[in-house]
Structure 1
Amino acid sequence: MQPRCDPGANRMKVPLKWLADYVEVTLTPGEVAQKLTVAGLEVSGFRSFGLPVPEGLRIRQDEPGPVWDRDKVFTAKLLSVAKHPDADKLKLPLVEYLGGKTQQLVTGAPNISVGDSGQKVVIGLAGTTFWDGHVSPKKMATLTPKPVRGIPSEGMVMSNFELGINDEHEGIILLEDDAPVGVPLADFMGDIVLEIDVLPNMARCLSLVGIAREMAAITGKKLKNPPKPSAGIGPDVTDRVAIRIDDAKLCPRYAATLIEGVKIGPAPGVMQRRLTYSGMRPINAVVDVTNYVMLELGQPLHAFDYDVLKARARGKTPTIIVRPANPGETLVTLDGKERKLSPDMLLIADEQGPIALAGVMGGLETEVTATTTNILLESASFDPVSIRRTSRALDLPSEASGRFARGVHPDMVPAALHRAADLIARASDGVVAKGIVDVYPSPLPPCIIELKMTEVERLLGVPVPLDECVKVLRALEFVVEVGTDSLKATVPGHRLDIQDGPADLIEDIARLRGYADLPMTLLSEPLPAQRGNEGLVFEERAKDALVALGLEEAISYSLTTPEREAPLSEVGHVMIANPISSERTAMRRSLLPGLLEAVERNLKTFDAVRLFEIGSVYHPVAGRPLPDEPRRLAIAVVGRRVPEHWGDGGSGPRSAMDFYDLKGIIEAFLGDLHAVGYHFRPTRKVAAYHPGKSATICVSGTQEESSSPPGSVGTPDDGAEVGSFGELHPRVAAAYGLEGKTILAAEMDLDRLRSLVPPRFAYRPVPRFPAALRDVAVIVPEEMASENVVNVIRQGGGELVREVRLFDVYRGDSIPSGTKSLAFALAYQADDRTLSDKEIEKAHKAVMGRLTHVLKVTIRDGKA
């Protein structure tokens, strides 16, 4: 039975008195916590039940509760219960405690009645501290004697709530029948519970025996395994149930047995207390035993009502089938909810249909109820990935699924089954059938690892004696065969984490020997030459340049969905086999979707957003298991060109950024990177951008040391395409919640750009000689791009043309229809001299001649 509970799949609560059943604990709680933490089991907190905080335990205390004073809180025996003369709901219990002393008390507890006697209870005398539940929030109070409806009361019969054990305050504590009388409750029930964070590679320690095994190895004490259960004396179970496993990969082993004639009632008091202290709620003997054994051995179990299974089989022998779910199947689970199942979920079924979600939760129809008399008990090993996927898909975390998701070794299955069957029979007066039905199609072969002492010294940097290695491994229940300077270790059945051979064994040796005992040793050889990460250095340069241009870096999720990327990205995604949520099912193909989502969120707060992101995208490659992961740069800007200012004089909102603002950002960015020969080509091929407001980015580049000035421009016919930019199409903007916004975006292939940017660039001194400025205006066809004119100007003026800037565009009646006038400012300059008027005039005429000859344009004004 796996009731839904707080999933402690990575945390183990260890009551120290329970731990002492399996290993002698002579250390203080503080010393236990320190030694476990050093050995890799971090003790992150503790809870005290009735005891003062132990000295030396300097970790977080979870919900400090009342201390049970040894002079005031005792176990007691109920001698009689009389009716209160003036209150129908109150009773007058007479209790015996501490050497035959008696005390008459007043209580309204519903779980004792007038005429009762013999029950064992807990009495608190005057001065007892307890939780007062009659105020909100609860607070600590001190018991003071006072009459209740005219009857004196010198104490209280205590509840679990009042003593800080749990939140149950509807009745008083009723102890087990054999509880001693007059014993201080702190001695009888007081305990310290350590909370241990268990790392994935230590999943074997998600059990009391697992923690005890580590503790025994640390302290040199002997591990005491649970007592061997009695053999079944009932009918042979092989005649009562059959088992079939359809997929041995998903379920390596499945075993079951039968307990007949059970009487469903409460579990023994000690078991209930241990479960409560471990963070679980007692339910009934059967459920409590399955949870108890899970906490004890780390093996989850489940109990079915055998008579229901037999009725489903129409009186025949039930067959338990472990199989994947069929499409469209459903199951009503123990929480009463109908679950829609998918073929990637593993089921426990019979020939009529599903009866449980394997390793996650049982079905409602076959649950154990108060009328159950015959129980089929299951113990199994399931594929961790399958259980984890099902638990996440259905949002059904539990202690059981958490353990299966970490991995449960098939060798643990029969031991836990025998132990639980024996405890259920003892707690419910049942009879265990003879034997078990155990289906194990492909037993795991024994894992034998050879470990040489030279390898231990190589990895740890210090020699470790052979006998010390043997001692540690045997304490962890490895079977060790000793050689001259090596050993062979057979991995025990509870270890699924041993995968890397000798390194895993050496880790255990170092861990239990103590990392602090490993000496600090300087490297005996010089460090190898360190090579810089050119890609990382280039990306840092790119980030610095973009931040200097006023952009802010964003980091978005690498996981997305194909639907979220559909407005921008091509089809064909790398899909996640085991997605953590329905919103993270695929690897991104583009950075822009995540960046646009960030823009949409930021526009709720700011009127201008300028973001960039550098990261990997993921493109599937046919015939290869892993995708390509090119690096990309994405930019998204929107909003005011400049922020509001008090000096604006209330002239209204500033103009919004447009295509040319983004073009300027990209030009400045490429210039800062010393890209050579970059230019832009108008394009209509990028569907995500607005037609007529988009362009591709091209860089001619060089792998040689560059002496060209930063920002030197190439011709339209040369260079490699490294990206594109433009104004987002309104349809795309609307898909990301940006309706009515002018969104400017760009995306570049950073790997290709890096290959085109020169690794080194020669220093060019700032010109010492002045530049001469000239203007030229030309009438060109409407469809001609200004870049064509700029390139011809540079060709005509040669090296003397240092800058060409478009400063005016005119369309009007004074020029022919279908044309436009472009006015450019030109700067002529030389590095080694001041240009003469003759040189300037010659270069300017060459420019105008080139424009007339090559582009066939009209010069509006041929004079400077």
Structure 2
Amino acid sequence: MLIPFSWLSQYVDITLGPDELAHRLTMGGIEAGDVFTRGGWEGCVVGYVQATRPHPNADSLTLCEVDPGDGPTLEVVCGAPNVAAGQKICFARPGVTLLNMHTGRREELKPATIRGVVSEGMICSEAELEISDEHEGIIVLADDAVVGAPLDEVLGDTFLELELTPNRGDCLSVLGVAREIGAITGQPVRVPETGYKESDVPAADLARVTIEDPELCPRYTASVITGINIGPSPHWLQERLNRAGLRPINNVVDVTNYVMLEFNQPLHAFDLDTVTDRHVVVRRAADSEEFTTLDGVHRKLTADNLLIADPARAIGIGGVMGGENSEITGSTTNMLLEAATFHPLNNRRTSTDLNLRTEASLRFEKGLRPELAPIALRRATQLILETAGGQAAAGIIDVFPGGDAEVPAVPLTVGRMRQVLGMDLDIARAETVLASLGITTRRTGPDSLEADPPYWRGDIAIEEDLIEEVIRIIGYDEVPTTMLASPIPYHRPNPMTTLKDGLRDALAAAGMQETISYPLVSAEDLDRLNYHGEAGDGIALLRVANPMSAEQDIMRPTLAASILNTLAYNRGHNDGGFRLFELGRAFIPQTPGLPVEREIAAGVMCGPRYDANWLSTGEPLDFFDLSGTLAAALNRVGITTSLEAQDQPTFHPGRCARVTAGSGQAADVGVIGELHPDIREAFDLGPDPVVYFEVRLEDLLRAGPDGGRFQSLSRFPAANRDLALVVPADVPAARVQNLIERVRLVERAELFDVYAGENVPEGTRSLAFRIRFRATDRTLTAEDVNRAMNGLTRALEREAGAIVRA
């Protein structure tokens, strides 16, 4: 919102400098994103065009006799089509620095010979003064501008650019900001009068209004003005709109925009003679009803959209935009002026669905009080009578089905202020602050009061809202620093949070990079992933009722689609190796009922193992890189895992394993493997293998950490032996390793060779382990190691069918 000080000062005296005022507003909750001054046109003055004549050597140029106000008349060559004798204009003498429209640089203005005639200055456009990009015509000043006055005094201004929070829609108006400044500085606010002369004919005799859906339109007010003359607005009105960033159109439309910026109430003017039976009907649109808005776009509506209509057709979309079929034109003589209140949520949905954001919808979607509509209506009617003439019908049309419902008063007590703010505030001081904001109060006790929210504030409904109003005007820096009223509770660790934090650090330490994505995917993503749910086909996924886009309409049942899309995007920008992981929530469908929310850790690797260099062979990352990284990360958080071969449709046949954890009966906690080439191709991931893991954190917690108990180092040396075993092919190496490490003197067993082929019976394979023996109380002898080896081989033969390979 752009607020010019020249307009703001009409309602409140500004006693602070621009920067100090911006700071005070920001500290009071109305953030001033920027404060800047327009001007700095030293040497530019108000000039008067005494006469004009055609340039003798150029049809598109005009010779102007300009009175600069403090010297002889100067001859100036001007190419603007709107220059004319009798105008007050912006005149720049030679020596002034201005923007050169041909070079785009600021340059010193010098006398120039243009088609044989010397031009002794320049009549400026908005672009040359860097007010806007408009350069088709010169600036024509108001008739009351003093010839010779410095241009800074006439066009110069200071502006506040506000960045408002959604609850402070009232400060989308100049009066709203003036009230804030008045409360901060203690200055009274001057609210414009809204009275005007009325004819003897009641407005209700000239037009009718029917509200068919009071829920979406709680109040509709209208005035009727006859005999108006459509034309340009007065200069002062055009100037204020220009400074606020709006383009002047005509006197009626400009007034509606002006009052919207002044009071924060959008209005709309209809050509009354185009409204069938002069009867306005506020109704829902029919499904697929079509309507052409003022911007010339043909739109298809739904029953969720509110229309302003007549008995025959729609004439506007409520709270968004009017229609071409009833707009104010140069031939309009009779008009109906609307000021209504619309349901904020419905208005926002309509604006979003139609992709039609307007200044009106911006205000309606934040919520406006119904009491504001007739006040703004009378103000706009008054200004239209001043600028367009005509006669206003007596009274206004006011359809207010819920008019009997009173806005509840909001209580405020000293005790609650003390409880919320941690400081003592006198009730009289609170009264004074609230009164400065225009909030009417009345005492209900020595330390309590009731407040009536003013018609321009729709965000005050509970006691805490009043407390906020009081303290932000007093100043948050007055809130004292005090000790907590109650003892700080003991920290209660959350096992899931601890696991997530530890695993996140462990994966990052292992060289992986964390990504974060939305928990929303598309049906196309799941189709590419060949996802059918944990319970098979037919499980209904959870769809979002009002998705932001078609690519984000399903709550993800797996993290695979999210992280693979992230990988695909980044591979398009980098040809290096990728090691990505994400910790997030998946939503597993259930029938019946809502999905189960499950905490998941997922990771993916793809691309070359090492960055390109003269030593690298360009080998791609594979299953063993990811499985080793995952094992190391889980081991760091105290969880030992193992892998067991498994096939799943998502993964390449023979290159997938389930991840198990826990002592005794190991629990299934996830899956790891190389993605199937079809899925890799569907996500456009390139020719390199893509390896992926996904583990369920709840299952990891249930498996439990291994304890991580400290064991002192032995002072005695170890003895190493190698053992080659022939085992059935279906016996996992991890099971053999666990059997070896169960032996009392075995400190560690490490698999270093796997062989199948010649000299090994079919259906078996050879596993070679390096075994470390160590005792904590003595140095082992050869006999000790031999006895341990014999017991070990007998246990392996008995429990795993293993035979020592000769």
Normalised to the residue count of structure 2, the TM-score between the two structures is 0.89
Partner amino acid for 1:216? Answer: G
SS in structure 2 opposite 1:336?
A: coil
User: Does 2:559 align with 1:598?
Assistant: no
Partner SS, residue 141 of structure 2: coil
Rate the CA distance shift 1:83–1:644 in 2: closer, same or farther, 3 A.
closer
1:171-196 superposed Cα distances (whole Å, 9 cap, x missing partner):
23333455555554433443222222
User: What does residue 262 of structure 2 align with?
Assistant: 296
Check 1:249–1:751 CA distance in 2 against 1; reply closer, same or farther (3 A cut). Answer: farther
In structure 1, the partner of 2:378 is: 418
Distance 1:419 1:223 in 2: 17
Q: Distance in 2 between matches of 1:199 and 1:433?
A: 39
In structure 1, the partner of 2:16 is 27
What is the CA-CA distance between 1:763 and the residue it aligns to? Answer: 0.9
Q: Structure 1: which amino acid aligns with 2:199? A: I
Structure 1 stretch 266-275 or stretch 440-449: which is displaced more?
A: 440-449
Letter matched to residue 682 of structure 1: A
| CA distance in structure 2 between the partners assigned to 1:30 and 1:154 by the alignment | 39
Q: Quick one: structure 1 residues 789 and 535, their matched pair in 2 at CA, closer, same or farther if it must change by over 3 Å?
A: closer
Q: Secondary structure at the match of 2:743?
A: helix
Bigger mean CA deviation after superposition, 471-480 or 762-771: 762-771
Counterparts of 1:691 and 1:39, CA distance in 2: 65
The yes-or-no answer on 1:763 pairing with 2:710 is yes
Shift of 1:737: 1.6
Distance 2:225 2:728 in 1: 95
Matches within 5 A, 1:102-141: 105-112=76-83, 117=85, 119-124=86-91, 126-127=93-94, 129=96, 131-141=98-108
SS at match of 1:168: coil
Q: Deviations over 1:288-317 (max 9, x none)?
A: 22211111111122233333333xxxxx34
Letter paired with 1:583: E
Aligned partners of 1:344, 1:724: CA distance in 2, in Å? 46
- Name the SS of the counterpart of 1:809 in structure 2: strand
Aligned partner of 1:169 among 130, 135, 141: 135
Tell me the number of residue pairs that the alignment of Structure 1 and Structure 2 aligns: 796
Is 1:384 paired with 2:344? Answer: yes
Match of 2:473 among 505, 512, 527: 512
Q: CA deviation at 1:257?
A: 3.4
Q: What do the CA deviations read for 1:47-105 (whole angstroms, capped 9, x no partner)?
A: 4333xxxxxxxxxxxxxxx4255xx51253x5443344444333344455749975554
Where structure 2 has 5 or more consecutive residues not aligned to the other structure, the ranges are: 534-538
Q: Is the 2:644–2:658 Cα contact (8 Å) retained in structure 1?
A: yes
Q: CA-to-partner distance for each residue in 1:452-487, whole Å, 9 max, x for gaps?
A: 122223333332222221111112121200231111
In structure 2, the CA distance between the partners of 1:832 and 1:669, relative to structure 1 (3 Å rule), is farther
Q: Residue type matched to 1:360 in 2?
A: V
Counterpart Cα distance in 2 of 1:825 and 1:347:
82
Distance in 2 separating the partners of 1:280 and 1:128: 33
Q: Does 1:683 align with 2:683?
A: no
**1:668 match:** 632
Deviations 1:577-618 (A, max 9, x none): 544444333443332222212222333423321111223334
CA offset digits 1:194-223 (Å, max 9, x no partner): 222222232211100100111111122221
Q: Does 1:731 align with 2:714?
A: no
Q: Does 1:201 align with 2:201?
A: no
Cα deviation, residue 504, structure 1:
1.3
Residues 32 and 815 of structure 1: is their aligned pair in 2 closer, same or farther, counting only changes over 3 Å? closer
Residues 628 and 256 (structure 1 numbering): CA distance in 2 closer, same or farther, change over 3 Å? Answer: farther
Please give the secondary structure, in 1, of the residue aligned with 2:168.
helix
Q: Is this contact kept in 2: 1:166–1:276, CA < 8 A? A: no
1:698 to 654, 660, 669: 660
Partner-residue secondary structure (3-state), 2:134: coil
Partner of 1:368: 328
Contact 1:321–1:351 (CA<8 Å) still a contact in 2?
no
Residue in 1 aligned with 2:190?
Answer: 224
Q: Are the equivalent residues in 2 in contact too, given 1:254–1:378 (CA < 8 A)?
A: yes
Q: Per the alignment, do residues 268 and 787 of structure 1 end up closer, same or farther by CA in structure 2, a change over 3 Å counting?
A: same
Bigger drift between 579-588 and 98-107 goes to 98-107
- Between the aligned partners of 2:231 and 2:553, the Cα distance in structure 1 is 46
Q: Give the alignment partner of residue 659 of structure 1, picking from 623, 636, 657.
A: 623
Q: Distance in 2 between matches of 1:813 and 1:99?
A: 112
Contact 2:282 2:309 in 1 (8 A): yes
Task: Give, as a single letter, the amino acid of the residue that structure 1 aligns with 2:129.
Answer: L
527 and 403 in structure 1: CA distance in 2 versus 1, 3 angstrom threshold: same
SS for the counterpart of 1:831 is: coil
* Aligned partner of residue 617 in structure 1, secondary structure: strand
Q: Is the 8 A contact 1:121 1:172 kept in 2?
A: no
**Aligned counterparts, 1:820-859, within 5 A:** 820-859=765-804
* Paired letter, 1:440: F
**What amino acid is aligned across from residue 676 of structure 2 in structure 1?**
H
Q: Which whole-Å CA distance do the structure 2 matches of 1:128 and 1:451 have between them?
A: 64
Q: Is the 8 A contact 1:560 1:587 kept in 2?
A: yes
Which AA in structure 2 matches 1:694? Answer: C
Range that drifts further, 41-50 or 566-575 = 566-575
- Judge conservation of contact 1:75–1:184 (CA < 8 Å) in 2: no
How far apart in 2 are the matches of 1:781 and 1:379?
A: 86
Q: 1:88 aligns with which of 59, 76, 80?
A: 59
Q: Could you list the runs of 5+ residues in structure 1 that have no partner in the other structure? A: 1-11, 51-65, 311-315, 701-713
Give yes or no for contact 2:544–2:553 (8 Å, CA) kept in 1: yes
Distance 2:478 2:301 in 1: 53
What is the Cα deviation at residue 575 of structure 1? 4.1
CA offsets, 1:542-564, max 9 Å, x none?
12222232222222233433433
Q: What residue identity is the alignment partner of 1:492?
A: P
CA distance in 1 between partners of 2:112 and 2:375 (Å):
55
**Corresponding residue for residue 62 of structure 1:** none
SS at match of 1:765: coil
For the 8 Å contact 1:237–1:257, the answer to whether it is kept is yes
Contact 1:551-1:610 within 8 A present in 2 as well: yes
Kept in 2, the 8 Å contact 1:286–1:424? The answer is yes
Q: Show the counterpart of 1:456.
A: 417
Q: CA deviation at 1:159?
A: 3.0
The 3 A distance-change label for structure 1 pair 181 and 644 is closer
SS of equivalent to 2:566: helix
Which one of the candidate residues 606, 612, 620 is aligned to 1:638? 606
User: 1:339 deviation in Å?
Assistant: 3.3
Looking at structure 2, the residues matched to 725 and 783 of structure 1 have their Cα atoms a distance apart, in angstroms, of: 19
Q: Structure 1 stretch 691-700 or stretch 506-515: which is displaced more?
A: 691-700
Aligned mate of 1:160, from 121, 126, 151: 126
Deviations 1:686-730 (A, max 9, x none): 442334332322222xxxxxxxxxxxxx45xx1333222222222
Q: Give the deviation of 1:414 after TM superposition.
A: 1.9
AA matched with 1:19 = L
The yes-or-no answer on 1:398 pairing with 2:358 is: yes
SS in 2 for 1:752: helix
Instruction: State the one-letter code of the partner of 1:437.
Output: I
Identity of aligned residues (%): 38
1:282 aligns with 2:256: no
Distance 1:146 1:753, change over 3 A: same
SS in 1 for 2:579: strand
Relative to structure 1, is the Cα distance of residues 768 and 236 closer, same or farther in structure 2, using a 3 angstrom cutoff?
farther
* 1:614 and 2:583 are equivalent in the alignment: yes
Question: Structure 2: how far apart are the matches of 1:208 and 1:423?
Answer: 17
TM-score by length of structure 1 reads: 0.84
Q: Name the CA shift for 1:25/1:757 in 2 (closer, same or farther; >3 Å).
A: same
Structure 1 stretches of 4+ moved >6 Å: 620-625
The aligned amino acid for 2:378 is H
CA-based RMSD: 3.3
1:74 is matched with which residue?
Answer: 46
1:224: Cα distance to partner?
A: 1.3
Q: Deviations over 1:18-74 (max 9, x none)?
A: 112211223333443233233222223234333xxxxxxxxxxxxxxx4255xx512
How far apart, in 2, do the equivalents of 1:624 and 1:247 lie? 35
**Which residue, out of 745, 770, 773, partners 2:720?**
773
Q: Which moved more, 1:273-282 or 1:777-786?
A: 777-786
Counterpart-to-counterpart distance in 1, 2:16 and 2:383: 30
Alignment-derived partner of residue 428 in structure 2: 467
Q: 1:434 to 1:288 in 2, by over 3 A?
A: same
Preserved CA contact (<8 Å) 1:234 1:431:
no
SS in 2 for 1:233: strand
Q: Which moved more, 1:579-588 or 1:217-226?
A: 579-588
